[in-house]
Amino acid sequence: MTRATDPQAGGLRRGETFVDVADGYRLWVEMTGDPERPALLLVMGANASGQCWPDELVELLSRDHFVVRYDHRDTGRSTHAFHERPYPIRALADDAIAVLDALRIARAHVVGMSLGGTLVQLLLLDHADRLLSATIFGSALIAGAAPDPGISDDDLPGPDPRLLALWAELGQERDPEAELRWRVEHWRVLNGAILPFDAEEFADLERRIATHSGTWHSPAAHALADQSGMERGAELANVSVPTLVIDAPEDPITPPPHADRLARAIPTATRVTVPGLGHALPLAVVPPLATAITTHTGQRP
């Protein structure tokens, strides 16, 4: 059974609460905007707190939606217990539904970035009745899809080698100053080469995340979690939920044509490009990203 620890959260009030999900995990959840507006659930990427969604983006989206963001297991203020109670990555998709259940949200627009986009693909397959629409970016097509004669696997580049080198250091113990430097450098590579990179902007973000989390420890549980059970790409051919795939042309993890390949696998998908978008969310991309999402959800013409 899932529930919000604050019973008022079931009445869709704005603010923060905690939601109890499976295996003794508790998730931090924040609600922003008018509860009478359509719900929009933000699903962040691997090892990333919900605080990685820029406040400015949440504010723009909340003008037209009741926005919910949350910390995955083993991130932010949610329970950190992977080594005692390990779980498969697919459990994180169940957590997204558990959040909706606890808040008594019957259906929501769902937006997923990076691993969040992978989880949204699973939601499209297993919980389509709970989705008003889906938006995916910074994410690759899940495994198991039928071959595409237009885009072969050989056409899909892998992550930037600089990221692979940084990921090899994920979870290492560092003092707060060294951890902050590592995280800012990570964001620098994720940002891509087109949009100017403001190191202080991302340093401020990481300071807020550390304050929110109460620690500078670098989470790495999702990199260790079981990846099995997600080889279901062929099933996306049956999706009927309106889906938007946002192409991030400067993404160093899933560069073009990953977004095109994903969009081609989903019959209801449309694809738009946010110029300059990489695998980070600097303030410069917030307005066009918000416009793309709200246009897709039908809240903006």
> Which position among 64, 71, 247, 251 bears the catalytic label?
251
Rounded CA-CA distance 38/59 in Å is 15
172, 218 contact by CB (below 8 A)? yes
Q: What is the dihedral of CA 286, 289, 294, 296, to 10 degrees?
A: -170
> Which position among 114, 133, 139, 213 bears the catalytic label?
114
283, 53 contact by CB (below 8 A)? no
Is 133 known to be catalytic?
no
Rounded CA-CA distance 211/200 in Å is 16
Rounded CA-CA distance 249/252 in Å is 9
Edge to edge, the sheet with strand 39-43 lists: 3-4, 15-20, 26-32, 66-70, 39-43, 108-113, 131-137, 243-247, 269-273
Is 279 known to be catalytic?
yes
Q: Is 32 helix (H, G, I), strand (E, B) or coil?
A: strand
Q: What is the dihedral of CA 205, 207, 210, 212, to 10 degrees?
A: -70
For the record, the structure tokens of 107 come out as: 């259906």
Q: What is the DSSP letter of 131?
A: E
Is 62 known to be catalytic?
no
> Which position among 80, 109, 258, 279 bears the catalytic label?
279
Q: Which positions are catalytic? A: 114, 251, 279
